Amino acid sequence: MRRRFLQTPEAVAGTAILVLLAAMALAAPLLFPGDPLRIAGPALTPPFQDWALPLGTDRLGRDVLAELFHGARTSLVVGLAAAAASLAVGAVIGTLAGFAGGLADEALMRLTDAFQTVPGFLLALAFVSIVGPSLSVVVAAIALSAWTGPARIARAEVLSIRERDFVAGARVVGMHPLEIAFREVLPNALPPVLALSSIIVAQAILIEAALSFLGLGDPNRVTWGGMVAEGRTVLRTAPFLSIVPGIALVVTVLGVYLAGEGAVEGAAVRKGLS
């Protein structure tokens, strides 16, 4: 699987982009220590005019390159945390629904349907507007809108696994139903659920950027969406303020998708060979 992954051009390109993003996030406090929102020079310095400020400054004189690096930290934190939370919630609900069956299955699936009827971004927007903007609230809002897909896939996998011989053997030896569900069944149902992780990470990064663009991101953190919003007021005179973080968003989401596609393709090849 690893060899197949490395032989896929899109997977290699996606992985290289993600490694670069992770390096930017880790290097941000070392290369640009202190507050990235502090004034660093004259306002609206164009890129490549001052080598101490390679990407120039924004309307308030803040270093665009420092903001870009620190924004990578926010995007990674939100993407990974929201994906982990939504996968965990979805896997638990899907496992309970598929293993219990009957009324419990019906109730949990109708709850899932109710969440799926509301567009994810609108649900996140309403949640953040009510609770208040902060990084943890943004992560919770994105997870609240993204857990339904993993829940449905987990339920489908559990329905096919719960009738297998090893599950019947666990019942015979007297294991508790919940122990069977989460210790024996769920680990075997996880691979298809985890295949959604790249999609959820990409969606989380985009939703966080959109919320920040609307002024609903964490005001104490640099975000790429906030940088795009900051540059829209001077789009004619200083378009680089919106173009630079916009390109970063596009490249990051593209890298996540490419790496995810490579991982799925490698897993499919491994399953076919086995």
pLDDT digits (tens, 9 = 90+) for 8-56: 777 888 889 999 999 999 999 999 998 999 999 999 999 998 888 999 9
pLDDT at 267 over 80: no
Mean pLDDT of 56-78: 94
pLDDT at 101 over 90: no
Does the predicted TM-score (pTM) go above 0.75? Answer: yes
Torsion, Cα 197 200 205 210, to 10 degrees, reads 180
Taking each helix axis from N to C end, the angle separating 197-213 and 135-146, rounded to the nearest 10 degrees, works out to 130
| Cβ density class 217-228: b for 16+ within 10 Å, e for less | bbeebbbbbbbb
pLDDT of res. 54: 94
* C-alpha–C-alpha distance, residues 200 and 153, integer Å: 14
pLDDT digits (tens, 9 = 90+) for 128-140: 999 988 999 999 9
Mean pLDDT of 58-69: 94
* C-alpha–C-alpha distance, residues 72 and 60, integer Å: 21
pLDDT at 178 over 60: yes
pLDDT of res. 23: 95
pLDDT of res. 97: 94
Given a contact cutoff of 8 angstroms between Cβ atoms, the answer to whether 262 and 7 are in contact is no
pLDDT digits (tens, 9 = 90+) for 201-227: 999 999 999 999 999 988 889 999 999
CATH number for the domain that contains residue 6: 1.10.3720.10
Instruction: Identify any residues that bridge with 62 across adjacent strands, giving them in sequence order.
Output: 39
Query: What does the block give as tokens for 102?
Result: 């009957």
pLDDT at 5 over 60: no
Band (194; pLDDT cuts 50, 70, 90): confident
* C-alpha–C-alpha distance, residues 85 and 55, integer Å: 35
pLDDT of res. 6: 59
- As a whole-number percent, the residues of the chain with pLDDT over 70 amount to 93
pLDDT at 196 over 60: yes
Based on the structure, what is the number of domains in the chain?
1
Which is nearest to 181 in space by CA: 99, 249, 79, 81? Answer: 99
Band (4; pLDDT cuts 50, 70, 90): low
Instruction: Identify any residues that bridge with 39 across adjacent strands, giving them in sequence order.
Output: 62
pLDDT at 260 over 90: no
| Cβ density class 163-174: b for 16+ within 10 Å, e for less | eeeebeebeeee
* Range of the structural domain that residue 264 is part of: 2-44+53-273
pLDDT of res. 265: 63
More confident residue, 10 or 157: 157
Average pLDDT, the chain: 89
pLDDT at 165 over 70: yes
Which is nearest to 227 in space by CA: 236, 80, 237, 239? Answer: 239
Query: What does the block give as tokens for 103?
Result: 């009324």
